[in-house]
Structure 1
Amino acid sequence: MPWIDTVAYEDADGKLKRLYDRVKGPDNNVDNIMMMHSLRPHSMEGHMAIYKYVLHHSGNTIPKWFLETLGVWVSSLNDCNYCVIHHFSGLERLLDDDQKSQAIKAAIDAQNFDNAPLDDRQKVAMEYARQLTRDPGGMQEDIVRRLRDAGYTDGEILEINQVSAYFSYANRTVLGLGCSTKGDILGLSPNKSDDPDDWSHS
């Protein structure tokens, strides 16, 4: 049970019901992280908008599976098992390579991405995400230069920044309110990236 009251799908009405209908998956399932916002639907609307635009938007050029990898990495650093479980399931589906995805997960679990089957530029992005998560006040411009030198455009650096920042927000929503995976369908996400207003989970 979460640490605050939440409103179940079948008990929702008005704006909350309309939002639930936008974000729901099969059998009217609403992810628990979204239900955490049910007493303040406007904050659910804001959360879902930034999630969709940061992680599931056709304007991104970094592969979605790697953005999910960054999310799993940040969530692991923050000890947020809810987001690790959910987004690793999404990563597995997107990557469609069990051996590689399991090797990535093992490296993340060990908090040693050097052992992950990632290329050098992806490892620089993982280092950026680690620094931003663990020591945001200690960030220096040098890490951005390293991302550029690795071949990322400034727009892609922004993508890495926003995904890393979003997951720390999501992790704190989950950890601060006692959100669990009980009743969730793992690995669903708003996959229609070409339509930023389609929030449905599949």
Structure 2
Amino acid sequence: MSRFPVPAREELPAELRERFAAVEERSGFLPNVFAALSWRPTEAAAFFAMHDALMDKETPGLSKADREVIVVATSAANDCLYCVIAHGAIVRIRARDPHLADQVAVDWRKAPLPPRMLAVLEVAVRLAVTPVEVTPDDLTALREHGLTDDDVWDVGAIVSFFALSNRLAHWAAIPPNEEFFLMGRVPRA
């Protein structure tokens, strides 16, 4: 599950044990990234807090599904199998579309997305791959598509946070859980 030690659940701080139990109750399993990051509990807690602050909200320009689409497109650009598969599952559920995540991961430019999201992904993928090429004009273009300053910030913060996540998943060799592959593709039992 990781190139680094994975502590037993009972060795973790109560905060992480409670979070893991809540995630397992909701999804039916514990994502491998949770267990893999738990060997450094303070960092894991900070990681999950940042994740929640960025991903667990709806704003005028970015729905929860939009935020996950950003993760899939930029994680694909970073060749992060874990994040493409795990967040692809979340896209399928939040967008209620069993095909969208795969289309975004393979070639977001051809995915059936509205012009606003295509503009977001244009900037997001550039930030993920060649950040020095992002200009003030890119931020202006996002505002012209109806994103607020908070939304524009969130685009950059999501891309940056998941660049960290992508690299940690590579570094630790975290495989995606088998459960993610079918989530949102078949009806829940």
How many aligned residue pairs are there? 177
Letter of the 2:167 partner, please give it.
R
**What is the aligned partner in structure 1 of residue 92 from structure 2?**
92
Please report how far the alpha carbon of residue 86 of structure 1 lies from its aligned counterpart in structure 2 after TM superposition: 0.7
- Alpha-carbon contact 2:72-2:104 (below 8 Å) kept: no
SS in 2 for 1:186: helix
Please show how residues 91-170 of structure 1 align to structure 2 within 5 Å.
91-98=91-98, 102-109=99-106, 111=107, 113-170=108-165
Q: Distance in 2 between matches of 1:29 and 1:108?
A: 24
Identity of aligned residues (%): 22
**What is the aligned partner in structure 1 of residue 186 from structure 2?**
none
Over aligned residue pairs, what C-alpha RMSD do you find? Answer: 2.1
Unaligned segments of structure 1, at least 5 residues = 188-202
Answer 1 or 2: higher relative contact order, Cα 8 Å, separation at least 6.
1
SS in 2 for 1:74: helix
Q: Distance in 1 between matches of 2:100 and 2:30?
A: 30
C-alpha deviations, 1:95-140, integer Å up to 9, x for none?
1133xxx14522431x3x2311111111110011111000112221
C-alpha deviations, 1:3-32, integer Å up to 9, x for none?
1111132xx3351x4312213333684322
Q: Distance in 2 between matches of 1:85 and 1:108?
A: 9
- Alpha-carbon contact 2:72-2:101 (below 8 Å) kept: no
Unaligned segments of structure 2, at least 5 residues = 182-189
**TM-score normalised by the chain length of structure 1:** 0.79
**TM-score normalised by the chain length of structure 2:** 0.84
Higher helix proportion (structure 1 or 2)? 2
Aligned partner of 1:23 among 14, 20, 25:
20
Q: Distance in 2 between matches of 1:63 and 1:21?
A: 27
Please show how residues 23-42 of structure 1 align to structure 2 within 5 Å.
23-24=20-21, 25-26=23-24, 29-42=29-42
**What is the aligned partner in structure 2 of residue 192 from structure 1?**
none
Q: Distance in 2 between matches of 1:13 and 1:34?
A: 14
C-alpha deviations, 1:24-80, integer Å up to 9, x for none?
33368432212222222000110000001100135x331111111010111101111
Letter of the 2:40 partner, please give it.
R
Please report how far the alpha carbon of residue 91 of structure 1 lies from its aligned counterpart in structure 2 after TM superposition: 0.8
Letter of the 1:186 partner, please give it.
F
- Alpha-carbon contact 2:77-2:125 (below 8 Å) kept: yes
Please report how far the alpha carbon of residue 181 of structure 1 lies from its aligned counterpart in structure 2 after TM superposition: 2.2
Q: Distance in 2 between matches of 1:32 and 1:97?
A: 24
**What is the aligned partner in structure 2 of residue 186 from structure 1?**
180
